[in-house]
């Protein structure tokens, strides 16, 4: 789920070729694996992925969960996810369009309106103007005993996205994000490195961008 018309349009344009980049698939696999290490997933848990894109992370996790709402504001990303669900015969993922900026939280389109045991989001928070407000919304959607996991970049110098116009934050300081989660009411908050994205610079050296997963529990 992304926060502006510009962002939505950009991701609509990228949807059909999104999964063709091996590094994106590798990142999603690492994030999903880290979530399984941080959260005791069971097939009795209902989840929501916020900013699901083409469902790379959700598809890695779906077999371990009961039902998953896969939420995004990009209609074309959801089209591609629906195609993958049909191709793979997955029955428990429900793609849902949700645009926070224009429509707010519409609980009627979310799974039964009774909340989730897990809310996850990956590489989406840096597109959000007010992360603290979003994390507070997540808290309200999570059942007692449930978990929030947020995967995003460590704070970086802006070189990761370059001049992409819809980036609100150049990653996050882990302690700052953990503090936002604790302020929202989550307990046992921790953050671990899940993956490192490597890119070649123009001078031939390698740039490294760690991606972490922060996890907290609603008691």
Which CATH number covers residue 12? 3.40.50.150
Buried b (16+ CB within 10 A) or exposed e, 47-66: bbbbbbbbbbbbbbbbebbe
| Alpha-helical regions (H) of the chain | 5-14, 22-38, 56-61, 75-88, 100-103, 131-141, 174-184
Query: Would you state the structure tokens that stand for residue 26, as one six-digit string?
Result: 């590798």
Q: Which domain holds residue 123?
A: 5-217
Q: Which pTM does this prediction carry?
A: 0.89
Question: CA dihedral in degrees (36, 41, 46, 52; nearest 10)?
Answer: 10
Question: Count of domains in the chain?
Answer: 1
Lowest mean pLDDT among 36-50, 53-67, 199-213: 199-213
Q: Looking at residue 165, what is its pLDDT?
A: 77
* pLDDT over 70 at 186, yes or no: yes
Lowest mean pLDDT among 5-19, 61-75, 151-165, 203-217: 5-19
Lowest mean pLDDT among 81-85, 86-90, 110-114, 121-125: 110-114
* Residue whose tokens read 């045991």: 117
Q: Do 77 and 12 meet the contact criterion of CB atoms below 8 Å apart? A: yes
């Amino acid at each position: 789920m992304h926060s502006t018309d510009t962002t939505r349009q950009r991701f609509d344009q990228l949807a059909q070729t999104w999964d063709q980049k091996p590094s994106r698939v590798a990142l999603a696999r690492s994030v999903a694996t880290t979530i399984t290490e941080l959260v005791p997933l069971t097939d009795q848990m209902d989840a929501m992925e916020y900013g699901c894109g083409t469902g790379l992370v959700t598809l890695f996790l779906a077999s371990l969960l009961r039902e998953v709402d896969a939420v995004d504001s990009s209609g074309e990303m959801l089209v591609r996810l629906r195609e993958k669900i049909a191709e793979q015969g997955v029955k428990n993922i429900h793609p849902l369009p949700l645009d926070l900026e224009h429509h707010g939280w519409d609980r009627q389109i979310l799974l039964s309106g009774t909340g989730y045991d897990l809310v996850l989001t990956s590489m989406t928070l840096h597109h959000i103007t007010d992360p603290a407000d979003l994390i507070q919304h997540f808290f309200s959607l999570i059942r007692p005993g449930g978990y929030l996991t947020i995967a995003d970049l460590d704070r970086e110098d802006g070189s990761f996205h370059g001049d992409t116009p819809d980036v609100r934050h150049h990653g996050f300081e882990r302690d700052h994000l953990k503090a936002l989660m604790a302020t929202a009411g989550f307990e046992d908050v921790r953050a671990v490195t899940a993956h490192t994205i490597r890119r070649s610079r123009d001078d031939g050296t390698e740039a490294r961008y760690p991606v972490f997963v922060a996890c907290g529990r609603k008691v």
